[in-house]
Each structure stands twice: as C-alpha cells, then as structure tokens.
Structure 1
Amino acid sequence: MKFAEFHAGQVIEAGPYEISERDILDFANRWDPQWFHTDVERAAKGRFEGLIASGWQTCGIAMRLVAMAALEGSESFASPGLQYVKWPHPVRPGDALRLKATVVEARRGSKDPSLGILRWRWQLFNQRGAEVLDLEATSLFQL
C-alpha cells in the first residue's frame, strides 16, 4: 500500500499464520533459549503447561503479516520504534495467528512534508480469539 492509502481508523487484516512446534523450537534454540521455549517435557510441567513461543518470534510473525498485507510496494523505509509491546496470552504449537492492524494516525512530517508518519496498532489473535500480541508501531515513509 502507498502512504496515501492509509487513514486513521482503517483496519487491515491478514493471516492466518500457523506456527508449529518445530518453528517454536528452531527460533528459540537460536534466539531465545529459555526452557519454556526449548524443552517440551519441562515446559509441560511449567506454569504454561506446555511449550510456548518467544514473544520476539510473535513480533516477527506480526512483522511478516504486516509487510505482506500493507508494506509491500510502499514507500516505507524505517521505523523509529514501538510505543509499547505486550504479550497478553502465550502462543502455542498449532496456533493459527491472525493480524488486525488499526491505523491510529497518518500524517506528513511538520518540518519535512516529504516524510509520511504512520502510527498503528498491531494485534495478533489466535484461532480461539485470544489476543497474543498488542503493540503500537511507528512507520516512516519517503514521499
């Protein structure tokens, strides 16, 4: 999508993205090697009663869905960061994750009108409707 196509209140949906036990183990062993992400047997006895995905993996899945649904072919070139990130419920093997991205604000830069500034809330939900990710991102566009 081009920056001009975004407007406050707009909702963009994408997915599902299905995550497997192998996906969780591979990511965690490489990037977040905590036992509740890497040890199936120990995780089964833990607080979450089973293996869960890293929150950072969940963010990566959201980024992929956003890139494919909204940023492909756009003028987007960077992000200065996130306002917040929350993981209200865990992601488990077999979950099918769906994205809901809601545009909070789309405006041109006050000092540089060739800069598009997009603030948007990204939420991921599993197949049961439980929210597994909530964040607010800012994306920059070269107009």
Structure 2
Amino acid sequence: MTLWFEDIDDVTVWPLGDYTFTEEEIIRFAKRYDPQYFHIDPEAAKHSHFGGLIASGWHTVSVGHKIMVDFMYAHDAEQRAKGEEPGVSGPSPGVNKMEFKAPVRPGDTIRFDLTVKNKRKSNSLPGWGLLTSIISAYNQDDELVYRSEIASFSKLRDYKPKLKERVLLAMAAMPVFRKLLRK
C-alpha cells in the first residue's frame, strides 16, 4: 500500500482491478511456465477432471500481482497529484497461505481485491509496520477463484530512530564494520 502504516485500516477492501483471460494467453503462459496438458491442450483438457482448458494457478497469481503493483503506482501518483506525500511500501517477507478455489477458464474476467487483515509494528525492522493482507480473486459470477494471505511491510510516517539504532545503522554502512559483520 502506498499509505503510511498509521493511515492503513483493517476494514477497507481495495478494489485492485480486473482482467479477462484468453485461451491464447493461457496456453502461452502455461507452455512457458506450467506445461501441464489441461493448461496447454484444449482438446486433451476436455477429458480432464476440469472438463476443459484452465489457466495455471501461477498465471492467476501473476496477473493479480501485476494488477496490485499497477494499483499501488496509480495510487502513489494520485496522492502526489494532490500534493500529498505517499507512504512507503516495503518488501514482503512471504505468503502465509494460498488457495486455488475454482478454475479460471478462457473468457473469465477476474476481479482482484486487497484487504488488510491486521497490522502491527515490526519487531525486527524499526520504523516499519507489518501488514497481513488478503488478496481475493472472483470471476464474473462472483465465485471466489483464488485467495492468498500475504505479509508486507509499510513504513511508519514519523519514526525517529533511537540513538542506538542510528549508531548501528551508521556503523553498518561503513566498509570496515560490514566486513566484521560478515565474519
């Protein structure tokens, strides 16, 4: 999120956007990254337990991630256009849970949403907060097709490091201390 940690609440659902999957794109992605027959061969896929061609779950995840990043950049630009300073989002320490609930088929339009489930100040990174968020994806029939729980960092707006932290950060930036820390 391009909001400061203090400005993020855990009740807002952020509509990230939607995407329509085509047969051509499903096959192209799968041939490159997940070449299972039910992703690449429409005729053979008819006889699978899915009853037809479906998108790779990784394709759905990748599209959702791109839509989320595009949303964040657009949100950042929107805040700057209003003369506001956007917050700083950090890296993700990982995905806690990932579920593929229903297949994504050619022609399906998938809507992606992001909801912050909870937040707390980070114990390991001073000046940052840790968010646990849910990314949900629904098809045109409002059926849940994908859900994941992700962790990510968000910077605190007015964090001032304590003297000890400033000294440690300064030391870590010095080549001689970096060599000592690696040993």
The question of a shared fold, defined as TM-score above 0.5 by the shorter chain, is answered with yes
Higher strand share: 1
Higher helix share: 2
| Aligned match for 1:116, one of 118, 122, 129 | 129
User: How far does the alpha carbon of each residue in 1:6-29 deviate from its partner, in whole angstroms, 9 at most, with x for none?
Assistant: 211221012221111111011100
In the alignment, the residues of structure 2 paired with residue 22 and residue 122 of structure 1 have an alpha-carbon distance, to the nearest angstrom, of 25
Counterpart in 2 of 1:138? 151
User: How far does the alpha carbon of each residue in 1:80-138 deviate from its partner, in whole angstroms, 9 at most, with x for none?
Assistant: 11111000100001111101211111332135431121110110000011111011001
Q: TM (normalized to structure 2)?
A: 0.72
Residue 71 of structure 1: how far off its partner (Å): 5.9
In the alignment, the residues of structure 2 paired with residue 112 and residue 15 of structure 1 have an alpha-carbon distance, to the nearest angstrom, of 31
> Any conservation in 2 of the 1:12–1:69 contact (CA below 8 Å)?
no
- Count of residue correspondences: 143
Q: TM (normalized to structure 1)?
A: 0.91
Change (3 A) 1:81 1:111: closer
Alignment root-mean-square deviation, CA: 1.7
Counterpart in 2 of 1:18? 20
User: How far does the alpha carbon of each residue in 1:1-57 deviate from its partner, in whole angstroms, 9 at most, with x for none?
Assistant: 223332112210122211111110111000000000011100012111110001111
Q: Whose RCO is larger (CA < 8 A, sep 6+)?
A: 1
Which runs of structure 2 are paired with 1:30-49 in the superposition (5 Å)? 30-49=32-51
Unmatched runs of 5 consecutive residues or more in structure 2: 77-86, 157-183
Unmatched runs of 5 consecutive residues or more in structure 1: none
Bigger radius of gyration among the two: 2
State the percentage of identical aligned residues.
Answer: 34
Q: Give the ranges of 4+ consecutive aligned residues of structure 1 lying more than 4 Å apart after TM superposition.
A: none
| Aligned match for 1:98, one of 83, 89, 111 | 111
